[in-house]
Structure 1
Amino acid sequence: MKKLLYIGNKLAVHGHNPTTIDTLSVLFANEGYHVVSASSRSNKVVRILDMLATLFRHAKTTDFVIIDTYSTANFWYAFLVSQCCRILKCRYIPFLHGGNLPERLSKSPRWSRMIFNNAYRNVAPSLYLKQIFEDFKVPNVSYIPNVIELKEYDFKERTGLKPRLLWVRAFADIYNPKMAVAVLGELQKKYPEASLCMVGPEKDGSLAATKQYAETKKVTVQFTGRLTKKEWTGLAPDFDIFISTTHFDNTPVSVLEAMALGMPVVATNVGGISYLLIHDVDAQLVGDNAVIEMSEAIVKLIENPDFAREQTKNAYRKIIAFDWTEVKKQWDNLLNNH
């Protein structure tokens, strides 16, 4: 079986939300792949050095290096690792995650080409990113979706939706958490009993700012802080509608998980969302930061239960393609047929 080196920010052990490296490295190992992963070091500089040291240590015995590749500061560890892979003659596979990667391609075309044009294969978890990279003339781009394990999610068919909203994401400006609070305020004009639970860790000061904003708006919001997947999915039966308020996105796993749990989704139509969801078929899509439009979409679901039920069923049918039993076939094909 193939030997894999997986490079990324493995920081769940330090209280951060799990990322792809935390889940996919385990799934690969369970399928019989020999997996080494790096890095879980909390200091960013030390983490990059650990990534490079691990690469040099295992270069001669590794079949493929998978690199979680993001669009902002974490773009640069991917750049360094990929160029070392070229020197060491290691086949590397950037796994593209950053919702703002299109801007990175435009702002750093030279560095981007050095990474992506020399990769064994670039893996895009959304058709949106695949299209963006192909338009940028990046060769060797494959679509393999983000993965969830459906067996870990209890689908609940909801009847008689209530304005009980759930939001799950890290508190960062890019994810626009204040919009969720504003939507709650708008909803309470029609449904005074409307409620909102926001799950996720602090990232850039947005949690404190969102709490202050809720006080200013005079609405009560339940802030749980970071929860494990088991903990927040355990909360899901107490809520009826999942909202995503992000400014940029690719294929958010939390949205996929909400679909697997039977929650109707209302999301801002940004980045790769329109490649993932279809308005009025498996989700309600609204404009970026469109507070009134999102509140109206929620009212539409509440007041049209049959429509909401059909949307939820369509979403679950779609999510089957993201189950590991399906996705692993695509990874096996990539890693074993060359």
Structure 2
Amino acid sequence: MKNLLYIGNKLSKHGVTPTTIEILGPLLEQEGFVVIYTSSYKNICLRMIDMLWSVFQNRKADYVLIDTYSTTNFWYAFATSQLCRLLQLKYIPILHGGNLSFRLQKNKRICSLIFNYSYKNIAPSNYLLEKFKEQGFNNLICIPNSIEIKNYPFQERKKASPNFLWVRSFTKMYNPLMAVEVFSMIKKKYPEATLCMVGPEKDGSLLEAKQKNKDLKLDILFTGKLSKQDWISKSKEYAVFMNTTCFDNMPVSVIEAMSLGLAIVSTNVGGIPYLLENKKEGLLVQDNDVDEMVLEIEKLLEDDNLFVNLAKNARQKAECFDWECVKHKWFTVFQ
């Protein structure tokens, strides 16, 4: 039985969308691993201190998993990885965020201190795998983000309807205002259209989206954060999943939408084209191109065969990310 220390932002109790630490960790526990988590502190300074103290306290752990992002959280990964090096602990960065490739270019020396000395670097997508290889890092394994497919019942929809779902944290990185603008244009042709936007506020983007909704006299439903079970249930009322992000890697929310039988229309950024093949498993448009997304959505709404095929193919692709398939790759890492 392996003992794991998992370092990440375990903040769902503060109203934040659960991240990988709260998805992967429990799945590993189901397989018999002992997992200790850090950190749940909302304050970033306290969180950093707690992470470092946890590394020291658990210096006999077999492995340390470190969720590694591109923005502020990057520095948590740097600090904890260097303490792991000092204590001769095997640490495993799990690479997140479509913007992490820019961090490799901006902070080359610091990145080398993290990723050249790790036991393994886990890339959830071939996109980040390629970006890291381009920068000379070789100690890489691609293990995709996973879900338990049994929890995502496929709903077969015979016909497209102008009912849209958007699920993400409200932050500028995920560009929720684009979804509002797209919906405004769709509404002119399909007055019966509906849009539901699910997710918590992060940087004021939710207030901006609500104000734009009011200014444009739309009727968007903003639910705030919903539990996984609640938004899966809510998804039955919708047919098309809009993903408007500016940066991305391998978003679990998109994999979940693929599993549920929704047709995906997404910006073609970061790892998205590695996840969705255009016109086969989803429709992809350029970043922040409202007109192009409206055009692709109209094609979808006017072609039931396209809609049905996209949803069916997306579900088949999503089944590859079932935990029962993915877990064996993790077992190989921990052997």
TM-score bracket for the superposition, by shorter chain length: over 0.9
Aligned position for 1:243: 242
Q: Distance in 1 between matches of 2:307 and 2:220?
A: 24
Question: Is this contact kept in 1: 2:159–2:308, CA < 8 A?
Answer: no
Q: Which runs of 5+ in 2 are unaligned?
A: none
Listed one character per residue, the Cα deviations across residues 201-251 of structure 1 (whole Å, up to 9, x for unaligned) are: 000011001111112222121000011111111100001100000000000
SS in 1 for 2:35: strand
Q: Distance in 2 between matches of 1:239 and 1:174?
A: 24
Q: Which runs of 5+ in 1 are unaligned?
A: none
What is the aligned-residue identity percentage?
Answer: 51
Aligned position for 2:73: 74
Structure 2 length-normalised TM: 0.99
The amino acid across from 1:58 in the alignment is N
Q: Distance in 2 between matches of 1:241 and 1:285?
A: 13
State yes or no: 1:19 paired with 2:24: no
Aligned position for 2:31: 31
Aligned position for 2:104: 105
Q: Distance in 2 between matches of 1:99 and 1:10?
A: 20
Q: Distance in 1 between matches of 2:31 and 2:149?
A: 17
Shift of 1:8: 0.3
Structure 1 length-normalised TM: 0.98
Q: Distance in 2 between matches of 1:160 and 1:89?
A: 57
Q: Distance in 1 between matches of 2:294 and 2:163?
A: 12
Shift of 1:145: 0.1
Q: Distance in 1 between matches of 2:159 and 2:263?
A: 12
1:259-298 counterparts in 2 under 5 A?
Answer: 259-298=258-297
State yes or no: 1:141 paired with 2:140: yes
The amino acid across from 2:238 in the alignment is F
Aligned position for 2:131: 132
Listed one character per residue, the Cα deviations across residues 107-145 of structure 1 (whole Å, up to 9, x for unaligned) are: 111111110111110000000000000000012011000
SS in 2 for 1:198: strand
Q: Distance in 2 between matches of 1:181 and 1:16?
A: 22
Listed one character per residue, the Cα deviations across residues 58-116 of structure 1 (whole Å, up to 9, x for unaligned) are: 112x1110000000000000000000000000000000012210111111111111101
Q: Distance in 1 between matches of 2:271 and 2:25?
A: 24
1:224-243 counterparts in 2 under 5 A?
Answer: 224-243=223-242
Which aligned runs of 4 or more in structure 1 are off by greater than 6 angstroms? none
SS in 2 for 1:188: helix
Q: Distance in 1 between matches of 2:312 and 2:209?
A: 33
Q: Distance in 2 between matches of 1:283 and 1:70?
A: 26
State yes or no: 1:185 paired with 2:152: no
The amino acid across from 2:107 in the alignment is S
Listed one character per residue, the Cα deviations across residues 157-194 of structure 1 (whole Å, up to 9, x for unaligned) are: 01221100000000000100000000111101210111
Aligned position for 2:52: 52
The amino acid across from 1:65 in the alignment is V
Aligned position for 2:43: 43
Q: Distance in 1 between matches of 2:19 and 2:198?
A: 16
Q: Distance in 2 between matches of 1:171 and 1:99?
A: 17
Q: Distance in 2 between matches of 1:274 and 1:307?
A: 18
What's the Cα RMSD here? 0.8
The amino acid across from 1:197 in the alignment is C
Number of residue pairs the alignment of both structures matches: 335
SS in 1 for 2:215: helix
Question: Is this contact kept in 1: 2:93–2:118, CA < 8 A?
Answer: yes
Question: Is this contact kept in 1: 2:282–2:310, CA < 8 A?
Answer: yes
Shift of 1:44: 1.0
